[in-house]
Structure 1
Amino acid sequence: MAAPSFMVNIVDTIHVSAPAGSVPTTSLPLNYLDLPWFASAPMQSLFFYEFPHSTSHFIQAALPILKHSLSLTLQQFFPLAAKLMCPPPPLKPYIFYTDGGGDSVPLTVSESTADFNLLIANYPRDFKSLHPYVPELPPSTMSSDGVRVLPIMAVKVTVFPNVGVCIGLAHNHVAADGSSFMHFVRCWSSVCKSNGEPASAFLNDSARRPIHNREAFDDPNGCNDEALKFYWHWISSWRENLGPSKEILPADKVRATFVLAAAQIVKLKQQLTTQCKNSNESEQQLISTFIATCSIMWICMIKSEENYNPISSNGHDDDDTLHYFLFAVDCRSRTGFPLPVTYFGNCLAPGIVKAKKGDLMVSNGIVTAAEAIAKKVKEMESGALQEAQKGTSKLEEMFRSGHHVAVSGSPKFRVYDMDFGWGRPMKIEFIHIDDGGSLSFIESRDEPGGMEVSLVLSKNRMDAFTSNLAENLKAF
């Protein structure tokens, strides 16, 4: 698939800091919920907005407010302007912010001649078409005492003259999970919409301010020690595994977004609720919007793989082969986590569901999927702490299988409410799902109760997925 011809020109690169003297020099320790994310690629998101003005108008009128509001917001979310300090073993990594030490967020301003409407489309298009709008984190450096220093966040703002603007964000997952980072974006957009007024409600409402205190974490089972072993192996292997990623992805991959209407989801939930009656249990499964969407997407991913490649590469993908589904559980409000909802950092537990291929590929396989996911969701209500403390062992089992689907994002983030003063976003994309094994879930832009699901697959497999999804929706 030939990419359309267009130009992306860098206009300026600036560095935005919190107001001078507003944040003291601070060191934040990392815990067992942060450390496993060292091996993760940066989280990358794109927010597209309508902006029917010239580039010069943006630079003169919008950019100063965008920079000023970012500076004010970083006063509360200072870890994003800080550095990840990664010493060799047996020392521990930490986040370090230096007042007056030049800690800042790089903000690149660019201009593009690309077709804005193509970029925000839902239909399949070349997955690489969005890559020019994703910021790159600055390279790591090495301090004089042998500590590797990693930047945490970068921003790229691209103007499509007289059409739109894209705000691209990249951040290191070690510093913040999706809930924390979207809290930052929501605050920044609110301050920007108020023309950068320090009196913005988000900056003055104590109930909305991020909490950085790590003292609330109890570690009776030595989880931090186990997580540190993982980190020490990671940092010791830097030269082999952690240099700049040059992974070559298949050229025929396409990105598409599927919008499930509220009426479709209601019907799917009703049908699954009726059918999900496990004869071994007296209690009927509760099928939520999330569970229903996960179930149909998991089944369609498996079937699309079967349609495109019916025989696995090792020749042993039979009915007893286990397939896995992974979703992240925000533990801030779960039993055992005495943390406020505004805690800034990582507070996720892995919800891992597995089922045999033979049970998922039958005509009512979606019911098996829904029952398994619903059961895990219920278990995580009280067992999230235990799952989080198990570290990476179950994840390693899942990844070794070669048959897994993961979910990124959440409709609870309400990302389409992020208004920088230009109205609601026209489209939002998560670029870190480009590996093809993940789905992104966000709420529908156009109607309450709907869902948007984005994914990246090879062209042939995307065709198979589209067909399978249409058949499954029709069946319900």
Structure 2
Amino acid sequence: MAGPSYLVNILDSNHVSAPKGSVPSTTLALTYLDLPWFPSAPMQSLFFYEFPHPISHFMQTTLPTLTQSLSLTLQHFFPLAAKLICPPPPLKPFILYSDGDSVPLIVAEFTGADVDHLTANYPRDFKLLHPFVPELPPSTMSSDGILVMPIMAVKVTVFPNTGVCIGMAHNHVAADGSAFMHFMRSWSSVCKSKGDSTFLDEESRRPFYNRDAFGDPDGCNEEALKCYWHWISSWRENLAGPTKEISSVDKVRATFVLTRAQITKLKQWLTTQCKNSSNDSEEVKISTFVVTCSIMWICMIKSQENDIQVSTNGDDDDDDDTFYYLLFAVDCRNRIGFSLPVTYFGNCLAPGIIRAKKSELMGAKGIVTAGKAIAKKVKEMESGALKEAEKGPSNLEEMFRSGHHVAISGSPKFRVYDMDFGWGRPLKIEFIHIDDGGSLSLIESKNESGGMEVSLVLSKNQMDAFTSNLAESLKAF
């Protein structure tokens, strides 16, 4: 798919560190919830803002404030400027911060594509947004076999007299979505206040790094280390680290908005359907998350099945008893078994995995089947997140082997549209790490409280089918 022509001109390349001497050399241990993320490609996010000023104004006035505020924020979120130290077996990996460690910051000018097109909801070539994503610096290997990996990179792209895009890439081993968005909210607040970071001195606002609360339930650390040692042993031939192959298939990216009114109707309908069809005495709670995931999962399955039917001329010999899986991450902060505050910085996620037969999901009551299963899993995770975290690796292995899975990325709890650097609320948020086509990103609606935005990347044919399936499903409620 031929995209519009555009030009990217690099204006500045720098490294930003915390104020000199503000953070002592620090070593942070990695927990059994950090280690499984080593094989993952970097997390990539884009924040688009309106910025009706010329390049000269940005370079002379805005960039110094943006850079200074990043430096002050890194004083509190120093692991993002640190390095991942990855020794060979039987040693353990860790995060090492040394005074002067920094984050690469690239500033670029973009001309060509219209910002309105870049931030639109309708389907666009999925590669259109790739120029705004920073690349992490290459990893290095010491003579004694220790791998050193950078953690974060920043790229700021200016659209003359129109807008600004802040592109972020970070290694998931160091921070999950909640921790990373805590950093982004803090950075934007410091920037908006022209360098006032005193609020981060408050205990309730600054990141929490103590790993003591994790312990080692049922040998989780040992199992996670085995996975890490296998990864590091097989990784050494490729110093590029985990990367994502760019598919040659013509894929498109689109965002779908569920309004508060639509979600309210869906919740009412699904609640009634679950009560009428349930053999269980236990009532399930149908939340906004549940209805959004339910309808999107079913529409995605149908779009993929439609593509299979077309490509095989209707000869789909896939068994109706085949299990299809949905994966979502549950934040374990402040949950039973995890005595960690919401400001804990690191990974604190347990995998919520649902499976159901293809025949049930593709049937007339597919959304009901999905909704009940998701609601039950959400309730289980309220008190059983620790157990799910412990058995997560084996459950994930089963899911990935199936070849039929959809993962949910993001959360409305991130409040991404509250991140104001002083230029107003974001025009659009995009998560580029969903480009493999097996994930949905889910965040709160920009335009109304109670609404949801769901973004995904599919082939053109699948996206057409998804759009049609979603429109048809919403008409039924």
TM-score, normalised to structure 2, is 0.97
Quote the offset at 1:140 in angstroms: 0.2
| 2:201 pairs with 1:204 | yes
Name the SS for the 1:221 alignment partner: helix
> Which residue number in structure 1 is paired with residue 133 of structure 2?
134
User: Where do residues 178-197 of structure 1 align in structure 2 (5 Å cutoff)?
Assistant: 178-197=177-196
* 3-state SS, counterpart of residue 146 of structure 1: coil
Which residue identity does 1:238 align to in structure 2?
A: W
Alignment partner of 2:422: what SS? Answer: coil
Q: Among the aligned pairs, what percent are the same residue?
A: 76
Q: Cα offset for 1:47? A: 0.1
CA contact (8 A) 1:36 1:391 kept: no
Spell out the pairing of 1:355-374 with structure 2 (5 A cutoff).
355-374=356-375
- Equivalent position of 2:266 in the other structure: 268
Deviation at 1:391, TM superposition (A): 3.9
Does the Cα contact within 8 Å between 2:140 and 2:239 map onto a contact in 1? Answer: no
* Aligned-partner Cα distance in 1 for 2:142–2:326: 41
Taking a change above 3 Å as real, the CA distance of residues 153 and 288 of structure 1, as seen in their structure-2 partners, is same
1:447 aligned partner: 448
Where 1:287 maps in the other structure, the secondary structure is coil
In the TM superposition, residue 204 of structure 1 has moved relative to its aligned partner by: 2.8
State the distance in 1 between where 2:208 and 2:246 align.
Answer: 39
Q: Letter of the 2:337 partner, please give it.
A: G
Distance in structure 2 (CA, Å) of the matches to 1:93 and 1:233: 13
Look up the match of 1:255. Answer: 253
Offset, 1:25: 0.4
**Matches of 1:409 and 1:443, distance apart in 2:** 10
CA positional deviation for 1:337: 0.3
Structure 1 CA distance for aligned equivalents of residues 114 and 238 of structure 2: 36
**In 1, Cα distance between the equivalents of 2:160 and 2:69?**
23
**Contact in 1 for aligned 2:118/2:129 (Cα 8 Å):** yes
1:243 Cα deviation after fit: 3.3
Partner-residue secondary structure (3-state), 2:461: helix
Confirm or deny that 1:229 pairs with 2:226.
yes
CA shift, 1:333, in A, is: 1.8
Provide the residue aligned with 1:160 in structure 2: 159
Indicate yes or no: 2:293 matched with 1:282: no
Matched residue of 2:60: which SS? helix
Q: Which string of whole-angstrom CA distances, capped at 9 and with x for unpartnered residues, describes residues 268-322 of structure 1?
A: 0000000012532112221000000000000000111111112898964221010
Q: 1:390 maps to what in 2?
A: 391
Q: TM-score, normalised by structure 1?
A: 0.97
Structure 1 pair 280/242, CA: closer, same or farther in 2 (3 Å)? farther
Q: Distance in 1 between matches of 2:30 and 2:425?
A: 35
Query: 1:185 & 1:248 partners in 2: Cα distance?
Result: 27
Amino acid at match of 2:391: K
Q: 1:265 and 1:137, CA in 2 relative to 1: closer, same or farther beyond 3 A? A: same
The Cα of 1:117 is off from its aligned counterpart by 1.1
> Which residue is equivalent to 1:22?
22
Give the corresponding residue for 1:422. Answer: 423
Change (3 A) 1:87 1:312: farther
CA deviations on 1:152-207 (whole Å, 9 max, x unpaired) are 000000000000000000000000000000000000000000011243x2x23221
Relative distance call for 1:76 and 1:286 in structure 2 (3 A) is: same
2:181 alignment partner AA: M
Correspondence for 1:326: 327
Structure 2 unaligned blocks of 5 or more = none
With 376-385 and 387-396 compared, the bigger mean Cα shift is at 387-396
Q: Using the alignment, how far apart are the partners of 2:249 and 2:156 within structure 1? A: 26
SS at match of 1:327: strand
1:58 aligned partner: 58
**Alpha-carbon distance in structure 2 between the residues aligned to 1:355 and 1:317:** 14
Q: One-letter code of the match for 2:451?
A: G
Quick check: 1:227–1:391 contact (8 Å CA) kept in 2? no
Are 1:174 and 2:173 an aligned pair?
yes
Question: In structure 2, the residue corresponding to 1:19 is in which secondary structure?
Answer: coil
**1:239-282 Cα distance to aligned partner (Å, 9 max, x none):** 45663536240331000000111000000000000001253211
Distance 1:445 1:220, change over 3 A: closer
2:46 paired residue number: 46
Equivalent AA in structure 1 for residue 177 of structure 2: G
4+ residue segments displaced more than 3 Å: 239-246, 311-316
Q: Distance in 2 between matches of 1:204 and 1:213?
A: 17
Name the CA shift for 1:252/1:311 in 2 (closer, same or farther; >3 Å). closer
